[in-house]
Amino acid sequence: GDSVTQMEGPVTLSEEAFLTINCTYTATGYPSLFWYVQYPGEGLQLLLKATKADDKGSNKGFEATYRKETTSFHLEKGSVQVSDSAVYFCALSRDDKIIFGKGTRLHILP
């Protein structure tokens, strides 16, 4: 069945470092792809999305490109801040619902 695999954390970086969180998916057809962020004690918030191959989603300095040939949707940010510390979830839409990866916890050190 369809699934999402993302790198295990925690990922610890210093402020202003470059961030990459890897995400690959298995699916038939062309699902929509998403990144969600969860801050401590809160629900998930949609960070960005892409609905077709080669689309780039972006928001708050984060970017991810829908790569059909490598079935990937890696999350990147050029310069992270302490406030980016959170759990990040990669996800895909399929048959009326969304399938989530297990999440990657990100710690940013000042």
Partner 1 sequence: NAGVTQTPKFQVLKTGQSMTLQCAQDMNHNSMYWYRQDPGMGLRLIYYSASEGTTDKGEVPNGYNVSRLNKREFSLRLESAAPSQTSVYFCASSRDRGLDGYTFGSGTRLTVV
Positions touching partner 1 (CB under 8 A) are 32, 34, 36, 42-46, 49, 51, 89, 93, 96-103
Contacts 24+ apart (CB under 8 A), 93-100: 93/31, 93/32, 93/33, 93/34, 94/2, 94/27, 94/31, 98/34, 99/2, 99/3, 99/4, 100/4, 100/36
Nearer to partner 1, 22 or 93 (CB): 93
Determine the Cα–Cα distance for residues 62 and 83; give it in Å rounded to an integer: 13
Q: Least distance in Å: CB of 89 to partner 1? A: 7
**Taking the complex as a whole, how short is the minimal distance between the CB of residue 75 and partner 1, in angstroms?**
15
Nearer to partner 1, 69 or 97 (CB): 97
What is the nearest approach in angstroms of partner 1 to the Cβ of residue 18?
25
Nearer to partner 1, 1 or 110 (CB): 1
Q: In whole angstroms, how close is the CB of 79 to partner 1 at the nearest point?
A: 26
